[in-house]
Structure 1
């Protein structure tokens, strides 16, 4: 079995003549936390949406766990264990925190969410839902309506609902965006903890988070791969420094 769990070859996306992702070749090793970074307009979000099948490529191929998934739909790749989160927190605000996780667990039954089933059957998922809430530090919030959660806790809930789908690979889109310093630290610790036994692809602007979490980093600029390596390697790369700031090192940008 290949050491790479997700690979792309010549991945390209054009929008009416504008090339947002240009001939990108990625290789994400199984069991690692891989960062996808770059300045604004680098093509990170487009690339992420291609990998998770919310966009179809203009050309190129995507292979997941040895299987060509280029033409698949998001739900199909999710069933294979490739599961994403979104930059904007996606929870059901009028359900409780526990019910949000339970909805994801209900999906494991197959073709439906079983909303019409007796409450006693749905409650059979509660024990596992509470375990997941414990994993993400939300046990004390189980009966709170999700819409009442602070922003950082909503992101933790979203990670819990992602874990409920039993992902082999998690793709996290800007998991610390808009968070306070305390929330950032909490989510970083959470990602590190839940990554055990999984592969994580992380799109993130906060370079302090990237440096502390990621085993390997791919830097995009203008839709192309600019550099790859560990954080120390890419931070010293003069092309990366120029792409971010022109004069300063990207490490400094993380604190600015």
Structure 2
């Protein structure tokens, strides 16, 4: 395989599996995530979603199988190496600093490509050239008016939006979101869903999400996992009518 092959699919897995002391949490999962789309990974509790997500972002090593990103085998790469290639997981890599303002948080993230990350001793003047880009990113996530507010004082939903802004500062080609609306009230859910739609305009998004109304409104393709295997895949209108999917969510079996 060559180093870089541009295909319709930005991420592909082949027989991806992960065992934990004899228990197979992810069992021969073969995914194809189409470039420029929003792809959701859903399933009942215990279905293997989080494990699969951790495998893709290299926070777990697979027991078997392979992962490619842009045609490049990333199966054995470290999370930081995968992020440098352009596949970034939000809410983990992009932890915010509570004592810094929203603007300062984004500015720190913008320093990473410059090789000056976290050099807080640098003068404000030397970092000022990053302010315009930082403000633009805050505007993108609806936080421009909160630029001077310390992150610790932001509401839960706005903190999540700030985390997305710091992730976007890395200019990822693919953004992975782990439960982006978890624990949010209705207003924040709507705000974050609209934000996901905006940031997906020029990149691929993969998200694990429990809120099926969010999934239905955003996703181009949905992969349903159950017991570590792919149960169904397709648009929401199709998978939501699948009897096996309905049974997995409504029945009494483990997933």
Match of 2:105 in 1: 100
Deviation at 1:87, TM superposition (A): 7.5
Unaligned runs of 5+ in 2: 1-5
State the shift of 1:110 in Å.
3.2
The count of residues paired between Structure 1 and Structure 2 equals: 247
Residue 163 (structure 1) shift: 0.6
Question: What TM-score, normalized to structure 1?
Answer: 0.93
Aligned residue in 2 for 1:119: 124
Q: Which runs of 5+ in 1 are unaligned?
A: 248-256
For the pair 1:65 / 2:70, whether they are aligned, the reply is yes
Deviations 1:199-234 (A, max 9, x none): 000110000000000000000001101100000110
Any residues of structure 2 matched to 1:1-256 within 5 Å, and which? 1-86=6-91, 90-110=95-115, 112-246=117-251
Q: Structure 1 stretches (4+) deviating beyond 6 angstroms?
A: none
Q: 1:24, 1:140 → 2: CA distance?
A: 43
CA contact (8 A) 1:89 1:155 kept: no
**Cα offset for 1:92?**
1.0
* Aligned equivalents of 2:249, 2:124: Cα separation in 1: 53
Q: CA deviation at 1:91?
A: 1.5
Q: State the alpha-carbon separation in 1 of the partners of residues 186 and 173 from structure 2.
A: 29
Structure 1 pair 132–228 and aligned structure 2 pair: CA distance change class (3 A): same
Post-superposition CA distance 1:14-52 (Å, at most 9, x none): 111111111000000000000000000001001001000
